[in-house]
Amino acid sequence: MKYIVYEQKGAVAVLTISREKALNALNSEVLTELEAAVDAVDLETVRCLIITGAGERSFVAGADIGEMSKLTKAEGEAFGKKGNDVFRKIETLPIPVIAAVNGFALGGGCELSMSCDIRLASENAVFGQPETGLGITPGFGGTQRLARLIPVGKAKEMLYAGTKIKAAEALSLGLVNAVYPSEELLPAAEKLAGKIAANAPIAVRATKKAVNDGLQVDIDAAIAIEEKLFGSCFETEDQRNAMNAFVAKEKPAPFVNK
Ligand code: CO8
């Protein structure tokens, strides 16, 4: 691939968007490759995926403005759908996805980070949805996910006024879980991914599904979703082995994903 670097280290994979000369902006080609890379994640062996951007300045500085400048209404809708489809694929990937936000996360970059389960940021990270200043609405889910992740009033300020926020403010709003010096970001993301990957894979996937599906429905339906997924864990070897080890006061064997 031209714009995606993908590396698997044990049960953790790192997907790097690599179009550094344009601050990793997302053009159609990058989106196509991103989708192919996400489709190719080996869900048998990868238990947590990290998404980051190449270089030290930018995670993703948005959708490609040069490409968008020439779009018609129909092409604009199609481009929005292309991004939305890829980001939904990331959001609903069975395994957890961590965004390691290493600089600018603007427009489509902020939206990409929000389609991940967890965001960690470098100290130089900047989040924003500057689209209205370019004559468009956010088009890769920004109007929806930002308003669900941070207080609605602050989300609306960022969306209407294009107000950008730095890493420390993103942390105080809960948009990111933690902030690190640049050189510590990827190691921290890998450490967290490793902790996730060390837990029972079926239980982690079921937990992701319970949280995500449950957030879309009322609390009674959400609890019912959790009950089903909770019950399904009792058919797994990993549940039996881990609980038997606890009861026997033995060290549990590594999880086998069965
Ligand atoms: N698209 C295309 N090229 C970009 C983008 C981008 N979003 N961002 C940066 N670049 C390019 C620049 O053009 C420049 O290229 P070149 O060297 O060839 O001139 C290179 O990256 C470096 O950028 P700068 O020289 O501008 O670097 P600075 O350090 O001066 O500034 C900024 C960095 C502040 C990040 C600045 O580049 C900037 O403001 N970029 C645009 C940020 C932005 O507005 N992003 C949102 C775009 S809109 C969007 O994402 C909508 C998503 C939904 C789409 C739905 C479609 C229907």
pLDDT tens column, 215-235: 999 999 999 999 999 999 999
Per-residue pLDDT band for 5 (boundaries 50, 70, 90) equals very high
What's the mean pLDDT when you consider all of the chain? 98
Please identify, by atom number, the ligand 1 atom nearest to the C-alpha of residue 138.
53
Neighbours of 134 (CB within 10 A): 14
- Residues with CB under 6 Å of ligand 1 are 22-23, 25, 61-66, 68, 76, 79-80, 83, 104, 106-108, 130-131, 134, 138-140
Known catalytic residue: 131?
A: yes
Q: Are 128 and 158 a contacting pair, CB within 8 Å?
A: yes
Mean of pLDDT values over 109-132: 98
Residue nearest to atom 18 of ligand 1 (CA): 22
Residue nearest to atom 1 of ligand 1 (CA): 64
Share of the chain above pLDDT 90, in %: 100
Strand order in the sheet with 97-101: 4-9, 12-17, 48-53, 97-101, 118-122, 178-180
pLDDT at residue 203, as a whole number? 98
The H or E element that residue 119 is part of is: strand 118-122
pLDDT at residue 108, as a whole number? 98
pLDDT at residue 93, as a whole number? 98
pLDDT tens column, 61-81: 999 999 999 999 999 999 999
Q: Are 179 and 105 a contacting pair, CB within 8 Å?
A: no
pLDDT tens column, 12-60: 999 999 999 999 999 999 999 999 999 999 999 999 999 999 999 999 9
pLDDT at residue 123, as a whole number? 98
Neighbours of 29 (CB within 10 A): 14
Residue nearest to atom 35 of ligand 1 (CA): 61
Please identify, by atom number, the ligand 1 atom nearest to the C-alpha of residue 133.
44
Mutate which of 20, 23, 75, 113 for ligand 1 pocket (most atoms within 8 A of beta carbon): 23
The structure's pTM equals: 0.98
Per-residue pLDDT band for 10 (boundaries 50, 70, 90) equals very high
Q: How far is the CA of 229 from the centre of ligand 1 (A)?
A: 42
Looking up tokens 């691939």 gives 1
Say if strands 97-101 and 48-53 run parallel, antiparallel, or are unpaired.
Answer: parallel
Q: Which residue is catalytic, options 33, 35, 131, 190?
A: 131
Known catalytic residue: 111?
A: yes
pLDDT at residue 222, as a whole number? 98
